[in-house]
């Protein structure tokens, strides 16, 4: 079953390999997302009930704002990665370049 799935979806699977190793690492690395989810769980775990959905959304918004202040890490070789992304996606990257 797995082999037939690979064969049927080979064109989509091989698309990943057309990118340089630095871009592939950013695509498959989920550390940032996992860290963010851990922060959200830490805040919501202690509270079993929220008065309404707006209260939950406000709390998640405030946690997100706090987490974003702490994100100071840099991506290794970001300049090179940005140039590679510009080569593959010039129309998307141009709006973010000075």
**35-90: per-residue pLDDT in tens?**
889 999 988 887 778 888 898 899 999 999 998 888 777 778 888 988 999 999 99
Distances (CA, A) of 51 to 55, 56, 61: 6, 8, 16
pLDDT score at 76: 82
Query: pTM of the full predicted structure?
Result: 0.55
pLDDT score at 8: 94
**Three-class SS state of 30:** coil
pLDDT score at 5: 93
Band the pLDDT of 32: cuts 50, 70, 90. confident
**What value, to the nearest 5°, has the Cα angle with vertex 28 and ends 74 and 70?**
30
Round to whole Å and give the CA distance between 41 and 34. Answer: 10
Is residue 16 a contact partner of residue 26, using CB atoms and an 8 Å limit? Answer: no
């Amino acid at each position: 079953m797995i082999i037939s799935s690979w064969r049927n979806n080979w064109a989509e699977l091989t698309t990943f390999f057309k990118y340089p190793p630095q871009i592939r690492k950013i695509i498959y690395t989920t550390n940032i997302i996992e860290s963010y989810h851990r922060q959200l769980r830490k805040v919501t775990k202690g509270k079993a009930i929220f008065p309404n959905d707006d209260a939950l959304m406000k709390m998640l918004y405030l946690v997100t704002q706090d987490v974003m202040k702490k994100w100071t890490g840099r991506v290794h070789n970001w300049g090179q990665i940005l140039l590679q992304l510009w080569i593959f996606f010039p129309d998307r990257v141009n709006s973010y370049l000075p």
